[in-house]
């Protein structure tokens, strides 16, 4: 042990008993001259192994290549001390974080004779700091940057883009049909989908691109130094292509798509809030255009967004005030001529939507995520009315209610219907649910378990607007359908049109071969009704029988003997 340690028995005692700190000395050539018990514990080398060896053995290969030991010695020699904060190497080759202080050793004459190094292992602290940083800056589920980290990074890139006049694209990404997967297959499946989607998007980005998860199924990509608008489009297409491939989620092949809205800094906006707002408008337009697409922000979207904002505010107000009512249209059996069911139809009384088709209001509610509230309200109102009809002796009336794909991919829907059936003392078989061909594709992908659960309860499933889509026959095979509703477009020029008659008969024959009821809607004339009866159609509805009526007028219509076709 050198003179520095030998010079004081107290120092010697401290040196030899300090266990938490590694303390050692080395000469001007970097050769170790003493090595305490703390250094043995931290490094794994015994004193016997280290005396006379170069201190550089503790440095990582990268630091040795940069001659970090010599640089540290130079600083300590000129400034009296040097502090370091770096990786070190143990005997077994493992690395650990350490912070240390290197000071000069001088003899009685003030001459430099060597160095004293004190260091401690701070690996656990670094791990904790890294975990805290990760929790503050990274999304726990996907490992991507979180909203906070995104905002910090975006502020830097926006400032850089504004100074350099270089384009930066903000691409706002939303996973189409994610809610249906989450509701239909469960939250665990939804989490797996988010993780896989995040990984796919990360794989197509440049090193300089930045991706974050903002929350739910919404992601954002920052594309700095975008050379052209086409470069933004190219990246968007890569992301969309990656998301369009089927995902393997716990053995289920899940097909989704993505929609992307793009805003460009500084062209569209110079601050983050405006940039996000405009990317969101572009995203909304991309979804309107059919999903699986991208759209750049344009000024025209601003005026459209203003109109949409007013409409949404009016719709929320109308829902809150219940500016809606339900009308009913009867369905007549062509075999008995008696009324066998009524279809519940939503109507709106809000002055803000005067002149709007109910289909437009429904589309607005769907886009805004407000349809569930309306659908559940219609179900309750219709069930209350059916209970009244049964109490009036109209025991064989079946209720038909239109539900949308959002309802039929929501796991809460069967439970809600169960509660209504119990509350109103009705039977599940009193209800028939109608879904359109347009919605059937989405339901087939994401709502089949829910539709099967409803059918297992005894609820009828009718495929509305049958024949207007391209995959009608596959729906009959894959969905638990009990009835098809022949679209009114098939009745144009019937019975005069021979080709039309042949098509209708073919649909009826096919449906009956599958054991399905066939309901013709939009029937307006005696001749159409006669042809449908002759062709063995099961039942019909339309102006030929009755327009849709309020609950009171429908009740009077039924009780006044109008339960049979004229």
Domain boundaries, the chain: 3-127, 138-297, 311-559
- Separation CA 466–CA 250 (nearest Å): 33
Q: Sheet of 81-89: strands edge to edge? A: 32-35, 22-27, 112-121, 95-106, 81-89
239 to 217, 423, 433: CA distances (angstroms): 14, 48, 37
Q: What is the pLDDT of residue 166?
A: 83
**3 state SS of 94:** coil
Q: ∠ at Cα 484 (478, 486), nearest 5°?
A: 130
What confidence score (pLDDT) does residue 14 get? 65
What residues contact residue 343 under an 8 Å CB cut-off, 6+ apart?
A: 328, 329, 331, 400, 401, 402, 434, 541, 548
Is the peptide bond prior to 419 cis by the omega test (within 30 degrees of 0)?
Answer: no
Is the link from the previous residue into 495 a cis peptide, with omega within 30 of 0?
yes
pLDDT, position 405: 87
Q: What is the DSSP letter of 495?
A: T
Cβ contacts of 159 within 8 Å, gap of 6 or more: none
In tens, the pLDDT along 244-269 reads 999 999 888 899 999 999 999 988 88
Three-state secondary-structure class, residue 50: helix
CB atoms within 10 A of CB 271: 14
Q: How far is CA 365 from CA 115, 308, 314, 317, 361, in A?
A: 76, 11, 11, 12, 6
How confident is the model over 336-366, as pLDDT tens digits? 989 999 999 999 999 888 888 999 999 889 8
Reading the block at residue 420, the tokens are: 């209504």
pLDDT at 494: 86
Residue-level pLDDT at 285: 87
Distance in angstroms (rounded) separating the CA atoms of residues 562 and 566: 8
H helices present in 205-348, as ranges: 229-244, 272-288, 299-321
Pull the structure tokens for residue 73: 């010695």
What pLDDT is stored for residue 107 in this prediction? Answer: 84
Kindly state which CATH superfamily the domain 138-297 is placed in.
Answer: Reverse transcriptase/Diguanylate cyclase domain (3.30.70.270)
Beta strands in 36-192 (DSSP E): 81-89, 95-106, 112-121, 167-176
Kind plus residue range of the DSSP H or E element containing 443: helix 437-446
Class of domain 311-559: alpha beta
CA distance 170 to 149: 15
Cα–Cα distance measured from residue 326 to residue 343, given in angstroms and rounded to the nearest whole number:
10
Q: Write down the pLDDT at residue 4.
A: 52
pTM of the model: 0.59
Which fold does the domain 3-127 belong to in CATH? Beta-Lactamase (3.30.450)
Q: Which helix (H) or strand (E) holds 123?
A: helix 123-137
How far is Cα 253 from Cα 313, in angstroms, rounded to an integer?
38
pLDDT, residue 27, reads: 94
Give the pLDDT confidence score for residue 566 in this predicted structure: 43
Please report, in tens digits, the pLDDT of each residue of the chain (566 residues total).
455 555 555 566 666 667 788 999 999 999 999 999 999 999 999 999 999 999 999 999 999 998 988 999 999 988 889 998 889 999 999 999 898 999 999 888 888 899 999 999 988 888 777 776 667 778 889 999 999 889 999 999 998 888 877 889 999 999 998 888 888 788 899 999 999 999 999 999 998 999 999 999 999 999 998 888 899 999 999 999 999 999 999 888 899 999 999 999 988 888 999 999 999 989 988 988 888 999 999 887 766 766 777 888 888 899 888 999 999 999 999 999 899 999 999 999 998 888 889 999 998 898 888 899 999 999 999 999 999 999 999 888 999 999 998 899 888 999 999 999 999 999 999 999 999 877 887 888 778 889 999 999 999 999 987 766 554 677 788 889 999 998 888 888 888 888 888 988 988 998 888 899 999 998 999 999 999 999 999 999 999 899 999 999 999 999 886 555 44
Q: Is 25 helix (H, G, I), strand (E, B) or coil?
A: strand
Q: 153: which residues sit within 8 A by CB, 6+ positions away? A: 145, 210, 212, 222
Taking CB atoms within 8 Å and a gap of at least 24, the contacts of 351-355 are: 352/311, 352/314, 352/317, 352/318, 353/314, 353/315, 353/318
In angstroms, rounded to a whole number, what is the distance separating the alpha carbons of residues 72 and 119?
14
Quickly list H helices, 251-402: 272-288, 299-321, 358-368, 371-391
Q: What is the dihedral of CA 183, 187, 193, 195, to 10 degrees?
A: 150
What pairs with residue 253 in β-bridges? Answer: 248
What Å distances lie between residue 130 and 97, 138, 151, 372, CA to CA?
12, 11, 20, 43
């Amino acid at each position: 042990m050198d003179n520095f340690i030998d010079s004081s028995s107290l120092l010697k005692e401290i040196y030899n008993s300090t266990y938490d700190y590694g303390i050692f000395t080395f000469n001007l050539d970097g050769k170790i001259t003493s090595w305490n018990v703390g250094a043995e514990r931290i490094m794994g080398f015994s004193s016997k192994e280290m005396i006379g060896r170069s201190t550089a053995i503790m440095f990582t290969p990268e630091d040795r290549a940069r001659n970090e030991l010599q640089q540290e010695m130079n600083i300590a020699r000129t400034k009296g001390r040097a502090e370091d904060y770096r990786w070190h190497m143990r005997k077994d080759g493992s690395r650990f974080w350490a912070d240390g202080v290197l000071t000069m050793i001088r003899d009685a004459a003030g001459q430099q004779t060597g160095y004293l190094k004190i260091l401690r292992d701070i690996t656990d602290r670094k791990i904790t700091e890294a975990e805290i940083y990760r929790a503050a800056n990274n999304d726990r589920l996907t490992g991507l940057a979180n909203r906070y980290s995104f905002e910090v990074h975006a502020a830097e890139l926006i400032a850089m883009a504004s100074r350099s006049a270089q384009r930066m694209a903000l691409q706002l990404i939303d996973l189409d049909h994610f809610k249906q997967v989450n509701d239909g297959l469960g939250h665990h499946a939804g989490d797996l989908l988010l993780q896989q989607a995040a990984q796919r998007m990360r794989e197509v980005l440049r090193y300089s691109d930045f991706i974050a998860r903002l929350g739910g199924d919404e992601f954002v990509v920052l594309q700095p130094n975008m050379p052209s608008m086409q470069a933004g489009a190219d990246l968007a297409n890569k992301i969309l292509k990656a998301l369009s491939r089927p995902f393997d989620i716990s053995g289920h092949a899940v097909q989704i798509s993505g929609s992307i809205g793009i805003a460009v800094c500084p062209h569209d906006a110079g601050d983050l809030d405006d940039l996000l707002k405009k990317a969101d408008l572009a995203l909304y337009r991309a979804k309107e255009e059919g999903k699986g697409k991208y759209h750049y922000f344009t000024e025209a979207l601003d005026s459209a967004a203003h109109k949409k904002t007013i409409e949404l505010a009016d719709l929320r107000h109308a829902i809150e005030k219940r500016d809606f009512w339900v009308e009913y249209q009867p369905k007549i059996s062509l075999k008995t001529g008696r009324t066998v069911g009524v279809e519940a139809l939503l109507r709106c009384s809000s002055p803000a939507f005067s002149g709007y088709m109910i289909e437009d209001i429904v589309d607005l509610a769907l886009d805004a995520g407000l349809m569930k509230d309306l659908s559940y309200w219609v179900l309750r109102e219709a069930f209350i009315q059916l209970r009244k009809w049964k109490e009036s002796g109209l025991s064989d009336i079946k209720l038909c209610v239109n539900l949308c794909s959002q309802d039929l991919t929501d796991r809460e829907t069967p439970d809600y219907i169960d509660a209504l059936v119990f509350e109103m003392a009705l039977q599940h078989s009193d209800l028939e649910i109608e879904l359109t061909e347009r919605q059937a594709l989405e339901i087939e992908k994401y709502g089949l378990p829910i539709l099967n659960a409803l059918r297992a309860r005894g609820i009828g499933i009718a495929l509305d607007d049958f024949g207007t889509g391209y995959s009608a026959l596959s729906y009959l095979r894959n969905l638990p359908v009990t009835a098809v509703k022949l679209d009114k477009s098939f009745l144009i020029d019937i019975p005069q049109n021979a080709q039309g008659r042949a098509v209708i008969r073919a649909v009826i024959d096919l449906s009956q071969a599958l054991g399905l009821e066939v309901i013709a809607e939009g029937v307006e004339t005696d001749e159409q009704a006669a042809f449908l009866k002759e062709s063995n159609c099961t039942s019909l509805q339309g102006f030929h029988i009755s327009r849709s009526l309020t609950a009171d007028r429908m009740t009077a219509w039924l009780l006044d003997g109008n339960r049979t076709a004229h």
